[in-house]
Amino acid sequence: MVLCLLAAGASFAGEPAALPDSVRAPAEKLRDGILAGSRAADWVREITDAAGPRMPGTPGDRAGVAAAVALLKAQGFAGVRAERVMVPAWARGVETGEVSAPSPHVLALTALGGSVGTPPAGVEAEILRVASLEELGARGEAVRGRIVFIDRPMSRTSDGTGYGDAAQVRSRGPSLAGRLGAVGVLIRSIGTDDNRLPHTGAMRYEKGVPQIPAAALSIPDAELLARLVRRGGPVRVRFTLGCHGIPDAESANVVGEIVGRDKPDEIVLLGAHIDSWDLGEGALDDAAGCGIVIEAARQIAALPRRPRRTIRVVLFANEEAGLAGGKAYAEDHAAELERHVAAIESDLGQGPPLGFSWDAGPNAAAPLKEIAALLAPIGADHLAPGEAGGADLSYLLPSGIPSLGMLQDATQYFDYHHTANDTFDKIDPKILDRSTAALAATAWVLAESSGVLERIPAEKRELPAWLR
């Protein structure tokens, strides 16, 4: 099978050309019909109300999988199944924190996902405040015996770019501090709010490095610690974490399809993740994405004519704590990855759509501009080339599948991200419909057009270093 741009005459071949009416008109109908009202928010509510928090390997996770399977079956998807995935499991436990000197203050904190716990009595030490990982590395022996406080704010941006850099503190900080002899780590929450609700999120320990307990402070409490340090004199903190790892558990990727009419073996994958952190309901992260992709596929199925290719919805397991679902999907479907012509992921909450990031061959730029033109009326025509399509799609990179990631306005998203405030009341159905309309129109064009996007060049298919 040739998975590249087809010869002259195909809608994705050669120089940019207007989409044929047989492709464009249904895409416009999808876009406008969904904007007038869809059921995307209903699917978010069904998942969150049925399961609540969906930490990988927990009863809530299993309830989320069951709810998603039932939902896809009820909406007429074909081949609905839960594909088994073994996931790492972890339990949170008790969490307390306080400033013990120079004056007593209770601290709002939460363990970072995957952290080890403290001894039952907790850990207490003088804190060492640093503003970055680079400063931490430069402090050398000054770190030994201290609780490191990494005070690195995240900037508020509409495109969410402030998150990636700030999140390095969460993922890498505990091991760097442990290597230098720290007894614990506290980080300023990776978020943009001013609530006393700390943000959790995954961290990972490097092999051969002492594992020390790690927690995130709510942003007001991080600012309190910073003020105390600036006053001069030692600042001591005591904190207790009851978190611990538990045996790997069974979860599942939830899969359902709208079977293509002419080329059912060719697949356009629409992905989101079904798991969440345990503090809130995971309504924004990522039940919103699940609602978007389910409703987009359902609306495509309701058209008078189904697309040429199969639309496959995949609700991935374990995005938050290790991408086991994405890895399992790539392994379980290795024999058919050559027939995946595109993959799209929705995992940025419910903000208004801005467009898509994309990773494909250079000739994909022209057809994607045609798709962007369809989305211009709803402000979703921005294209960001060379960017990953989404974390769950990472393990598809070696197969060269063109991947797209939905870009949404993230100005408010990181106020709620990974906190107890990620609840269904944050969902605005009308805004969610806009993202659903953008994704549905894009998926229809990719599944219906006679041509396909050029695959990622072979020299750019290596897994990122952090996955290897």
> Which of these three, 212, 242, 272, is where a domain ends?
242
Cβ atoms of 235 and 228 closer than 8 Å: yes
In this predicted model, what pLDDT tens digit does every residue of 77-94 receive, in sequence order? Answer: 999 999 999 999 999 999
Task: Report the pLDDT value the prediction gives residue 5, as an integer from 0 to 100.
Answer: 32
Residues 128, 132, 133, 134: is their CA dihedral positive or negative?
Answer: negative
pLDDT in tens, 249-290: 999 999 999 999 999 999 999 999 999 999 999 999 999 999
Same domain, 144 and 230: yes
* CB proximity list for 34: less than 8 A, separation 6 or greater: 40, 295, 296, 299, 433, 436, 437, 440
Write down the pLDDT at residue 440.
98
Residue 355 and residue 232 share a domain: no
Q: Is residue 465 part of a domain?
A: no
For residue 220, being part of any structural domain is answered with yes
Rounded percentage of the chain residues whose pLDDT exceeds 90: 92
Q: What CATH number does residue 319 fall under?
A: 3.40.630.10
- Condensed to tens digits (0 to 9), the pLDDT of residues 380-404 reads 999 999 877 889 999 999 999 999 9
Check whether residue 388 and residue 286 sit in a common domain.
yes
Cα–Cα distance, 40 to 293 (Å, whole number):
8
**144 with 101, same domain?**
yes
254 and 352 part of one domain: yes
Catalytic residue of the set 95, 319, 320, 345: 319
What CATH number corresponds to the domain at position 146? 3.50.30.30
Q: Band the pLDDT of 18: cuts 50, 70, 90.
A: confident
Residue 392 lies in a domain: yes
For residues 83 and 154, membership in a common domain is answered with no
Q: Is the pLDDT of residue 164 over 90?
A: no
- The whole-angstrom separation of Cα 86 and Cα 105 is 41
Residues 67 and 112 in one domain: no
Mean pLDDT of 323-342: 98
* Position with higher pLDDT, 37 vs 2: 37
28, part of any domain: yes
**Is the domain of 104 the same as that of 196?**
yes
Mean pLDDT of the region 9-27: 70
- In-domain check, residue 8: no
* Angle made by CA atoms 256, 262, 265, in degrees to the nearest 5: 50
Report the distance separating Cα 273 and Cα 325, nearest Å: 9
Mean pLDDT of 156-179: 94
- Residues 292, 234: one domain? no
Domain that holds residue 186: 93-242
CA 159/CA 152 separation, integer angstroms: 19
Q: Tell me which of 242, 277, 294 is where a domain ends.
A: 242
Give mean pLDDT, residues 415-419: 98
pLDDT at 6: 31
pLDDT of residue 3: 35
* pLDDT tens readout for residues 179-193: 999 999 999 999 999
Domain boundary residue, one of 183, 211, 242: 242
Q: What pLDDT, on the 0 to 100 scale, is given for residue 260?
A: 98
- Return the higher-pLDDT residue of 68 and 7: 68
Examine the domain organization and report whether 334 and 456 are in the same domain.
yes
Tell me whether residue 393 is in a domain: yes
Our count of domains for the chain comes to 2
CA atoms of 229 and 219, how far apart (whole Å): 15
- How far is residue 369 CA from its own chain's centroid? 25
pLDDT tens digits for 336-381?
999 999 999 999 999 999 999 999 999 999 999 999 999 999 999 9
Judged against a pLDDT cut of 50, whether residue 406 lies above it is answered with yes
Structure tokens, 322: 């290790």
* Domain match, 297 and 385 both: yes
**pLDDT at residue number 13:** 41
Q: What is the pLDDT of residue 403?
A: 97
Confirm if 221 and 49 have CB atoms less than 8 A apart.
no
- pTM to 2 decimal places: 0.95
Confidence at residue 9, expressed as pLDDT on a 0 to 100 scale: 32
pLDDT at 10 exceeding the cut of 80: no
| 295 counts as catalytic | no
Lowest mean pLDDT among 28-42, 129-143, 168-182, 382-396: 382-396
Instruction: List, for residues 203-227, the tens digit of each pLDDT value.
Output: 999 999 999 999 999 999 999 999 9
Confidence of residue 17 (pLDDT cuts 50, 70, 90): low
Residue 65 lies in a domain: yes
Examine residue 5 and state whether it is found in any structural domain, yes or no.
no
User: Which pairing describes strands 109-111 and 214-217: parallel, antiparallel, or unpaired?
Assistant: antiparallel
d(CA 117, CA 123): 10
Residues 271 and 417 grouped into a single domain: yes
pLDDT at 165: 85
Average confidence score pLDDT of the chain: 95
